[in-house]
A = this chain, B = another copy of it.
Amino acid sequence: MKDKISIVGAGLVGSLLAVILKKKGFEVQVFEKRKDPRKSEVAEGRSINLALSRRGILPLKMAGVFETIEPYLIPMKGRMMHNEVGELTFQPYGKEGQFINSVSRAQLNELLIENAEKAGVEVHFDHKCTDVDFEDNRLQFENGESIKCELIVGTDGAFSAIRKKLELTDRFNFSQHYIEHGYKELCIEPTDGEFLMEPNYLHIWPRGNFMLIALPNNDKTFTCTLFFPFEGSPSFQELNSKEEVNAFFDQYFSDAKALIPDLAEQFFNNPTSSLVTTKCEPWHKSRTILLGDAAHAIVPFYGQGMNSGFEDVRLFVEMAEEMNWEWEKVLPKYSSFRKKDADAISELALHNFIEMRDHVGDPDFLKRKKLEAQIQEQYPSEWVPLYSMVTFSDLPYSEALRLGKIQKKVMDEFLDQTAEIDFSAIIDRFNTLKQVD
Residues of A in contact with B (beta carbons under 8 Å apart): 159, 167-168, 170-178, 230, 274
Contact = CB atoms under 8 A, between A and B. Distances in A.
Contacts of A174: 174-176
Nearest to A167: B176
A333 to B, nearest CB: 16
A168 B170 CA distance: 20
A370 B187 CA distance: 69
A274 B170 contact: yes
B175 A175 contact: yes
Nearest to A173: B177
A72 B197 CA distance: 77
Nearest to A182: B171
**Residue among A168, A173, A274 with the most chain B CB within 10 A?**
A173
Given A172-B178, A173-B176, 5 more contacts: A159-B168, A172-B176, A173-B177, A173-B178, A174-B175
Contacts of A177: 173, 175
18 contacts: A159-B168, A167-B176, A170-B178, A170-B274, A171-B178, A171-B230, A171-B274, A172-B176, A172-B178, A173-B175, A173-B176, A173-B177, A173-B178, A174-B174, A174-B176, A175-B175, A175-B176, A175-B177
Contacts of A170: 178, 274
A176 B167 CA distance: 9
A94 B171 CA distance: 35
Contacts of A159: 168
Q: Which 7 A-B pairs have the closest CB atoms?
A: A175-B175, A171-B178, A173-B177, A171-B274, A170-B274, A174-B176, A173-B178
A175 to B, nearest CB: 4
Contacts of A175: 173-177
Nearest to A171: B178
A230 B171 CA distance: 10
A401 B239 CA distance: 40
Contacts of A274: 170-171
A172 B168 CA distance: 18
A177 B280 CA distance: 9
A246 to B, nearest CB: 27
Contacts of A176: 167, 172-175
Contacts of A230: 171
A179 to B, nearest CB: 9
A92 B369 CA distance: 60
Contacts of A178: 170-173
A137 B237 CA distance: 25
A274 B274 CA distance: 33
A211 to B, nearest CB: 20
Nearest to A279: B175
A177 B171 CA distance: 8
Nearest to A179: B171
A62 to B, nearest CB: 35
A428 to B, nearest CB: 38
A141 to B, nearest CB: 19
Contacts of A171: 178, 230, 274
A426 to B, nearest CB: 38
Nearest to A275: B171
Nearest to A176: B174
A396 B176 CA distance: 27
Contacts of A172: 176, 178
Nearest to A174: B176
Contacts of A173: 175-178
Nearest to A276: B171
A171 B171 CA distance: 24
Nearest to A178: B171
A391 to B, nearest CB: 29
Nearest to A175: B175
